[in-house]
A and B are shown apart, each in its own frame.
Chain A
Amino acid sequence: MKKYEYDVLVIGAGPGGSMAARFAARHGLKVLLIEKRPEIGVPVRCAEGISQAWMKKVEIDPSDRWIDTRMEGAKIYSPDERSVIELSAEQARNEVGFVLNREYFDKYLASLAIKEGADIWLKSPAVDIIKEDGYVKGAIVRKFGERVEVRAKIVIAADGFESQMARWAGLNTVLRERDIVSCIQYRMTNIDIEENFTHFFIGSCAPGGYVWIFPKGEKEANVGIGVALNKLKSKGEVKGYLDRFIERHPYLKKGRILQIVTGAVSTCPVPKRIVDNGIILVGDAARLIDPITGGGIANACISGKWAGEIAGKCIENPSKECLKEYEEKVKKKWERKHLRNWFVKEKLAALDDDTLNKLMEVISEEDIKEISVRAILEAVQKKYPELVEEFEELL
């Protein structure tokens, strides 16, 4: 078997992996980024909506090349769709987020890693782990059909929801049934939607999750759904939920489907351990998904950057003690927030449509200026303190 040696091996060229490779390479390390697919960013497994405030911090400059549409705010619809909670920017025409084109966005991030000096292999899945003396020392990679040994001082696992490296390394990222959301999305054209807003529909139309409509351009949008696994009983049920939602809405029903996207996301609190000797988990592989929104791109980019930087610091001593700095940083940023949002998710999943309708009728009269889960919760707390009692201290 051919052998290769690197300082850092990054597995998966999604946003988390590319950012990790970029910042590890900037530190002067010899970095290899591997991607199992023949093309970066394809197939898309994402609803593509993101906020923009975090981008500067991770040195991403918004570009029209990978932004499909610019958003002014979000609208959340009650189950009967009579009440709408509108979250919008202070001033109209003020952008608060984007709907991305992941096919280009992911390629752009990979190119940033390459510019810093990282090497990249496509069509190269990791098929096994190399572990010696209690340390992860690399992976067996099928490089364009050929099994090769890639040795590295540190492996950064950015292999997404279906992450294998973490499990092979012995890190527990196994999900409970209630913390798995099964998703399907259609990219639809010829539909009538309000284009400067993202739209969210909650209630029995999507138990334990929501339906989203994220505009991709004129008369075009990602129309998708996520349903919690503990609410799904039969085969292919999640697709049935989406089809019925579209059927009920004439402005969608008149449209046609250009693309079918499927996938799953985790909606759990931050795992106890996301580093071990010689390995760091980032993004979806580290389960760094917001349990209420299901969003993970920003978290992947930020955690990827930190992983790359801390790999630089620990390259001569890649022990879990040294890499712990990464874990602590991640926990400081997301542990509390994700725990709070996990509680909110569980609470929300337990409310029936009538209760939600009543609740949202009252909340929708509130003027919510900030686009965040916290802002909504504060409005809820004002009117229905008993609903947030259980996790008040996390607000």
Chain B
Amino acid sequence: MLQVKTSLCNYCGACVGSCPVNCMFLDETIVRIEEDKCRKCGFCIRCCPVGAIDADWWSE
């Protein structure tokens, strides 16, 4: 599951714009995720400038 750590998130939308399948949506200051669309590419995790996104399937 993809998770956004709200204590780190700067709600800039970098993750949203980098998502190839548009499974993310920046709802003002909250990143909403449609999990079933996610292809687990990890773009959002690496693109987040502050490292606020994590997933149980992600490994570096």
Mark A residues whose CB is within 8 Å of B.
36-37, 43, 45, 123, 125, 127, 160-164, 167, 174-175, 177, 180, 182-184, 229, 232-239, 260-264, 266
Given known contacts A174-B20, A229-B18, is B13 in contact with A180 (CB within 8 Å)?
A: no
B6: min CB distance to chain A, Å: 14
Q: Give the chain A neighbours of B46 by CB distance below 8 A.
A: 182, 229, 232-235, 237
Given known contacts A37-B28, A161-B13, A263-B13, is B18 in contact with A235 (CB within 8 Å)?
A: no
Least CB separation from B16: chain A residue: A162
Q: Give the chain A neighbours of B28 by CB distance below 8 A.
A: 36-37, 123, 125
Given known contacts A37-B28, A175-B18, is B47 in contact with A232 (CB within 8 Å)?
A: yes
Q: How far is the CA of A263 from the CA of B18 in the complex (A)?
A: 11
Mark B residues whose CB is within 8 Å of A.
10-14, 16-18, 20, 22, 25-28, 43, 45-54, 58, 60
Among A174, A233, A264, which residue has its beta carbon within 8 angstroms of that of B12? A264
The answer to whether B47 and A163 touch across the interface, beta carbons within 8 angstroms, is no
The answer to whether B12 and A45 touch across the interface, beta carbons within 8 angstroms, is yes
Q: How far is the CA of A45 from the CA of B17 in the complex (A)?
A: 14
Given known contacts A45-B12, A235-B45, is B26 in contact with A162 (CB within 8 Å)?
A: yes
The answer to whether A236 and B48 touch across the interface, beta carbons within 8 angstroms, is yes
The answer to whether B53 and A235 touch across the interface, beta carbons within 8 angstroms, is yes
The answer to whether B60 and A239 touch across the interface, beta carbons within 8 angstroms, is no
Q: Give the chain A neighbours of B25 by CB distance below 8 A.
A: 164
Q: Which residue, A164, A229, A233, A235, has most C-beta atoms of chain B within 10 A?
A: A235
Q: Give the chain A neighbours of B18 by CB distance below 8 A.
A: 175, 180, 182, 229, 264
Q: How far is the CA of A233 from the CA of B10 in the complex (A)?
A: 20
Q: Give the chain A neighbours of B22 by CB distance below 8 A.
A: 164, 167, 174
What are 27 A-B pairs with beta-carbon distances under 8 A? A45-B13, A125-B27, A161-B13, A161-B14, A167-B22, A180-B18, A182-B46, A182-B49, A229-B43, A229-B46, A232-B47, A233-B60, A235-B46, A235-B54, A235-B58, A236-B48, A236-B51, A237-B46, A261-B10, A262-B10, A262-B12, A262-B14, A262-B49, A263-B12, A264-B14, A264-B17, A264-B49
Q: Give the chain A neighbours of B17 by CB distance below 8 A.
A: 160-163, 175, 180, 264, 266
Q: How far is the CA of A161 from the CA of B15 in the complex (A)?
A: 10
Q: Give the chain A neighbours of B45 by CB distance below 8 A.
A: 235
Least CB separation from B27: chain A residue: A125
Given known contacts A164-B22, A175-B18, A264-B18, is B12 in contact with A236 (CB within 8 Å)?
A: no
A46: min CB distance to chain B, Å: 11
Least CB separation from B9: chain A residue: A262
Q: Give the chain A neighbours of B54 by CB distance below 8 A.
A: 235
The answer to whether A236 and B60 touch across the interface, beta carbons within 8 angstroms, is no
The answer to whether B51 and A182 touch across the interface, beta carbons within 8 angstroms, is no
The answer to whether A236 and B20 touch across the interface, beta carbons within 8 angstroms, is no
Q: Give the chain A neighbours of B13 by CB distance below 8 A.
A: 45, 160-162, 263-264
The answer to whether B47 and A235 touch across the interface, beta carbons within 8 angstroms, is no
Given known contacts A229-B18, A235-B54, A264-B17, is B47 in contact with A182 (CB within 8 Å)?
A: yes
The answer to whether A229 and B49 touch across the interface, beta carbons within 8 angstroms, is no
Q: Give the chain B neighbours of A182 by CB distance below 8 A.
A: 14, 18, 46-49
The answer to whether B48 and A177 touch across the interface, beta carbons within 8 angstroms, is no
Q: Give the chain B neighbours of A261 by CB distance below 8 A.
A: 10, 12
The answer to whether B51 and A264 touch across the interface, beta carbons within 8 angstroms, is no
Given known contacts A160-B13, A164-B25, is B43 in contact with A263 (CB within 8 Å)?
A: no
Q: How far is the CA of A51 from the CA of B38 in the complex (A)?
A: 40
Q: Give the chain B neighbours of A125 by CB distance below 8 A.
A: 27-28
Least CB separation from B21: chain A residue: A174
B19: min CB distance to chain A, Å: 9
B33: min CB distance to chain A, Å: 13
Q: Give the chain A neighbours of B50 by CB distance below 8 A.
A: 184, 236, 239, 262
Known interface pairs A233-B46, A263-B13; 13 further A-B residue pairs with C-beta atoms within 8 A, sorted by A's residue number: A161-B16, A180-B18, A183-B14, A184-B50, A229-B18, A229-B47, A235-B54, A235-B58, A236-B51, A236-B52, A262-B10, A262-B50, A263-B12
